[in-house]
């Protein structure tokens, strides 16, 4: 397939055709000839966004429990209703979320949720890429820890990685998973060469409780028994000390910031500028729709940039190019994907943007518009692993109306069950 007549961001904005072979970008040149032409004239071709942290099936709980502190939100609303969760709920919730992500420019995501095999089915059907992990909890109960870890391990071993879907370990957090279970997870992750996806230093209470219980910060605590390494993806990491940041850099830990969710739950504002200054890889995620309440990475970029400019009274922080890389190239690196940039040899995980949309006009600075002006409504086409997943805003390979109807019905049944 040849994407013909479009524009790309390279040395400014330039016209270039993109040839795709075997799921990868083969050439980027002007006027490439061929028979399989897809005309993208008037559109900007971009690397697709990577949502580096979400709980996709929680799309069924959008609007279910708002305006609550994190601990109350989890213990009194989310965990009780999730006890009623069925595999079919995860399937339709993941379908609903995946449709939203594709339509707003996301090509890959990192998911922590139950029944990940159901989310994997969604990815294979729609053509999305994902890193999936079943959450592990034990609440200090060693036997429960063994059971939940064995269940997660069984899912990993029974569902081999595909071109689209890969598995990981997802211990929930240090306050819900014991040292013993975390140590076992680290051992298995190293053995199987898997990534570890964990919420970390999300709230002030988490940090103060860890200092009280262990005499150190959550980051120091994990590092004290060898848990941290370049396979670890630390989610939120809002409350960090300078020492924590240096530990992340030393161990090669990737950090994911979810600015909208962190603001909505009043968790705080992550130290993204300091993390970047210290060479830590930082990417962006939306968190789940129940704490965001959408999956639009355009909004996530804008929030990430604005909150640091405003709270630190420095308009130069997180400029558009840096924030855009966090949503694309850094996200791909975090998930271990060969995409995130438009260059030969990279996987063809691409989207197109309608440059005639009012939010893209006038064309003074297109990258500025992408970060500061646009929303997911500007996305026209999505190509993942070299295959067309959405064309002219129409999802291919699935009946969108049916998905929206069934997901809505399932959501109401789920919470009232």
pLDDT tens figures, 322-342: 999 999 999 999 999 999 999
Q: CA 102, CA 396: separation in Å to the nearest integer? A: 10
Structure tokens at 78: 């989310």
**pLDDT tier, 121 (very low <50, low <70, confident <90, very high otherwise):** very high
For the domain spanning 2-47+350-395, the CATH number is 2.30.40.10
Instruction: Give me the mean pLDDT over the 66-75 stretch.
Output: 88
| Residue 269: predicted pLDDT | 97
Q: Domain spans of the chain?
A: 2-47+350-395, 49-335
Cβ(315)–Cβ(326) under 8 Å?
Answer: no
* Distance between CA atoms of residues 339 and 350, nearest Å: 9
pLDDT at 199: 98
Residue labelled with tokens 């995620």: 285
The mean pLDDT of the chain is 96
User: CB under 8 Å to 219, separation ≥6 — which residues?
Assistant: 200, 201, 228, 234, 237, 240, 241, 243, 244, 247, 248
Taking residues 243-258, report their average pLDDT: 98
Q: How far apart are CA 298 and CA 284, in angstroms?
A: 10
Tell the residue number behind the tokens 């190019």, with chain if given.
Answer: 321
Average pLDDT over residues 300-324: 98
Q: What is the pLDDT of residue 12?
A: 87
| Section 159-187 average pLDDT | 97
Residue 3's closest CA among 352, 329, 354? 352
Please tell me the predicted confidence (pLDDT) of residue 392. Answer: 97
Q: How far apart are CA 391 and CA 382, in angstroms?
A: 7
Given the candidates 3.20.10.10, 3.40.50.2000, 3.60.20.10, 3.20.20.140, the CATH classification of the domain at 49-335 is 3.20.20.140
Cα 236 from Cα 267, distance rounded (Å):
9
CB 140 within 8 A of CB 105: no
Q: Which of 168, 47, 157, 62 lies closest to 108 in space, CA to CA?
A: 47
Q: What is the pLDDT of residue 413?
A: 92
Q: What angle do CA 190, 194, 200 make, to 5 degrees?
A: 90
pLDDT tens-digit profile of 181-238?
A: 999 999 999 999 999 999 999 999 999 999 999 999 999 999 999 999 999 999 999 9
Are 185 and 136 a contacting pair, CB within 8 Å? yes
Supply the pLDDT for residue 69: 85
- Look at residue 76 and tell me whether its pLDDT is greater than 90: yes
C-beta neighbour count of 416 within 10 angstroms:
8
Percent of the chain at pLDDT exceeding 90: 94
The pTM score is: 0.97
Angstrom distance (rounded) from CA 106 to CA 46: 11
Cα–Cα nearest to 3, from 29, 13, 12 = 29
Query: How much helix, strand and coil, in percent to the nearest 5, is found in the chain?
Result: 45, 20, 35
Residue 417: pLDDT band (50, 70, 90) is confident
Residue 25: pLDDT over 90: yes
- Average confidence (pLDDT) over 376-400: 96
**Cβ-Cβ contacts under 8 Å for 237 (sequence gap 6 or more):** 200, 201, 202, 219, 244, 248, 255, 256, 257, 270, 275
C-alpha distances out from residue 119 to 9, 96, 152, 407, Å: 33, 11, 14, 14
């Amino acid at each position: 397939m040849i994407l013909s007549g479009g524009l790309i961001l390279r040395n400014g904005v330039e016209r270039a055709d993109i040839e795709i072979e075997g799921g990868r970008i083969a050439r980027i040149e002007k006027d490439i000839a061929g028979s399989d032409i897809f005309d993208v004239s008037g559109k900007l071709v971009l690397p697709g966004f990577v949502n580096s942290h979400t709980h996709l099936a929680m799309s069924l709980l959008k609007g279910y429990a708002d305006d609550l502190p994190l601990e109350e939100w989890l213990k009194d609303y989310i965990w009780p209703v999730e006890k009623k969760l069925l595999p079919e709920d995860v399937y339709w919730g993941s379908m609903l979320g995946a449709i939203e992500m594709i339509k707003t420019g996301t090509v890959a995501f990192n998911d922590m949720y139950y029944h990940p095999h159901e989310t994997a089915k969604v990815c294979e059907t729609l053509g999305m890429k994902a890193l999936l992990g079943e959450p592990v909890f034990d609440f200090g109960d060693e036997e429960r820890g063994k059971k939940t870890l064995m269940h997660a391990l069984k899912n990993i071993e029974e569902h081999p990685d595909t071109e689209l879907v890969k598995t990981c370990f997802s211990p929930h957090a240090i306050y819900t998973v014991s040292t013993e279970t975390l140590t076992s997870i680290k051992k298995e992750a190293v053995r199987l060469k898997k990534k570890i996806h964990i919420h970390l230093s999300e709230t002030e209470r988490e940090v103060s409780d860890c200092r009280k219980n262990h005499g150190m910060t959550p980051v120091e605590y994990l590092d004290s028994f060898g848990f941290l390494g370049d396979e670890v993806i630390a989610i939120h990491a809002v409350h960090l000390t300078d020492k924590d940041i240096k530990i992340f850099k030393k161990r090669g830990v990737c950090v994911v910031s979810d600015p909208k969710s962190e603001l909505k739950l009043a968790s705080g504002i992550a130290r993204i500028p300091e993390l970047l200054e210290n060479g830590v890889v930082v990417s962006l995620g939306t968190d789940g729709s129940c704490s965001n309440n959408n999956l639009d990475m355009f909004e996530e970029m804008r929030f990430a940039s604005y909150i640091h400019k405003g709270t630190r009274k420095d308009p130069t922080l997180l400029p558009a190019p840096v924030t855009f890389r966090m949503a694309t190239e850094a996200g791909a690196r975090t998930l271990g994907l060969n995409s995130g940039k438009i260059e030969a040899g990279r996987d063809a995980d691409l989207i197109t943007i309608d440059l005639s949309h009012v939010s893209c006009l006038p064309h003074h600075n297109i990258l500025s518009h992408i970060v500061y002006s646009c929303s997911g409504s500007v996305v026209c086409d999505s190509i993942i692993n070299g295959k067309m997943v959405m064309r002219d805003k129409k999802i291919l390979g699935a009946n969108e109306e049916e998905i929206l109807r069934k997901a809505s019905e399932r959501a109401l049944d789920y919470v009232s069950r």
